[in-house]
């Protein structure tokens, strides 16, 4: 029985005839999280990392209540207290792969703009894998999995929704002073963590609304052309970093949902880094796949948040 391999009949549009020796691969879906987040090594399918929330001292050392100014009596006997406890956080590693196959004939045919079809298809598969992984990093919901069910990781949306949240008015957000809605979330993040956000992830449709804001925004100007751009890349907030909060467009974040925090708090932990592998071959063709296994960690859970508008 014939195997389901790619073949030269499927590729008639790219096999060299009178074509220019150029083939452009367009990656329509950007992967900002994959490109921007720092990475580290995971050592187990359940990735665990500690975090600690440093809070002001309160009366009774460790009790809850109003923070104290910590004024002590001269010569007083010091009453010891336990070390500040750590909280273990966890996420599951998720396996993602893109398989592809090529026939032996395809390796000998000369394609327009493709010196090596195997390397070219591997590159395309890796880009597809990156897009799928970006989607998981944004929208994943944790599942431990089983022998018949895939493990899934919590994505940034799940982490941010478990942190600081604010539900605002979509009508207000769409006005020229719609930044007042975003400020509510940024203030909550700062109050909970005393840390300044440095990014907000936005859907393309919501980014056009932000471009209409007139307060606390920075529009880049090309000095040599005396042109002022119509788009906003940086938002200045009382609760953001001094240089301004980066507005990052991501196709995979849901419209009317905004994730905010500090990029340095999010890390991709790889159990298996992206790699291409050859599989066993039983017919006149070759089987390959690109694969990775990784998860997302958030080192400061209280310093991230999610704004929703409706």
Cβ(51)–Cβ(87) below 8 Å:
yes
> For tokens 């050392």, what's the residue?
61
Joined together, the tokens standing for residue 42 give 């995971």
> Are the beta carbons of 289 and 276 closer than 8 angstroms?
yes
Write out the chain's pLDDT in tens, 310 residues. Answer: 556 667 656 765 655 544 444 344 455 557 899 989 999 999 999 999 998 877 666 544 444 556 777 888 999 998 887 778 888 999 999 999 999 999 999 988 888 888 889 888 988 998 899 999 999 999 999 999 999 999 999 999 999 999 999 999 999 999 999 999 999 999 999 999 989 999 999 999 999 999 999 877 666 555 554 444 556 789 999 999 999 999 999 999 999 999 999 999 999 999 999 988 899 887 888 899 999 999 999 999 999 999 999 9
**Sole residue written with tokens 């990392």:** 49
* Cα separation, 153 vs 298, whole angstroms: 12
Length of the chain: 310
Any idea which residue has 């979509």 for tokens?
170
Q: Class of 32-50+88-309 per CATH?
A: alpha beta
What is d(CA 153, CA 136) in angstroms, rounded to the nearest whole number?
A: 7
Distance, in Å, from the CA atom of 232 to the CA atom of 174, rounded to the nearest integer, reads 14
Handedness of CA 280, 282, 284, 287 (dihedral sign): negative
Strand-pairing partners, residue 100, are 288
- In 3D space, the residue among 187, 181, 147, 175 whose CA is nearest the CA of residue 258 turns out to be 181
Assigned token pair, 286:
């070759």
CA–CA gap between residue 1 and residue 253 (Å, rounded): 44
Identify the pLDDT of residue 13.
60
DSSP class of residue 85 equals P
Give, in degrees to the nearest 5, the angle at Cα 108 between 105 and 111. Answer: 105
Beta bridge partners of 240: 197
Residue-level pLDDT at 227: 47
**What is the rounded CA–CA span in Å between residue 85 and residue 51?**
9
So where are the chain's domains?
Answer: 32-50+88-309
Q: Among positive and negative, which fits the CA dihedral 101, 104, 109, 110?
A: positive
For 7, what's the count of Cα atoms within 13 Å in the CB-facing half-sphere? 7
CA atoms within 13 A on the CB side of 213: 27
């Amino acid at each position: 029985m014939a195997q389901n391999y790619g073949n030269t009949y499927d590729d008639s549009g790219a096999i060299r005839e009178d074509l220019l020796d150029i083939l452009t691969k367009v990656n329509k879906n950007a992967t900002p999280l994959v490109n921007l987040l720092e990475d580290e090594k995971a050592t187990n399918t359940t990735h665990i990392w500690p975090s600690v929330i440093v809070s002001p001292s309160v009366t009774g050392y460790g009790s809850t209540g109003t923070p104290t100014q910590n004024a002590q009596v001269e010569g007083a006997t010091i009453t010891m207290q336990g070390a500040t406890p750590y909280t273990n956080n966890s996420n599951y590693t998720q396996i993602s792969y893109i398989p592809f196959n090529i026939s032996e004939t395809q390796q000998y045919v000369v394609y327009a703009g493709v010196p090596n079809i195997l390397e070219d298809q591997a590159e395309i598969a890796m880009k597809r894998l990156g897009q799928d992984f970006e989607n998981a990093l944004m929208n994943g919901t944790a599942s431990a999995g089983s022998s018949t069910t895939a493990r899934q990781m919590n994505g940034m949306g799940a982490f941010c929704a478990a942190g600081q949240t604010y539900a605002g008015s979509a009508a207000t957000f769409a006005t020229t002073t719609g930044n007042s809605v975003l400020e509510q979330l940024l203030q909550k993040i700062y109050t909970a963590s005393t840390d300044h956000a440095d990014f907000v992830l936005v859907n393309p449709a919501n980014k056009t609304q932000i471009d209409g804001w007139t307060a606390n925004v920075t529009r880049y100007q090309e000095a040599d052309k005396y042109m002022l751009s119509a788009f906003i890349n940086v938002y200045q907030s009382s609760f953001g970093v001094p240089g301004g909060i980066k507005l990052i467009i991501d196709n995979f974040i849901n419209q009317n949902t905004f994730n905010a925090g500090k990029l340095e708090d999010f890390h991709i932990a790889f159990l298996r880094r992206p790699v291409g592998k050859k599989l066993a071959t039983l017919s006149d063709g070759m089987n390959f796949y690109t694969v990775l296994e990784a998860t997302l960690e958030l080192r400061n859970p209280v310093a991230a948040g999610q704004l929703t508008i409706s």
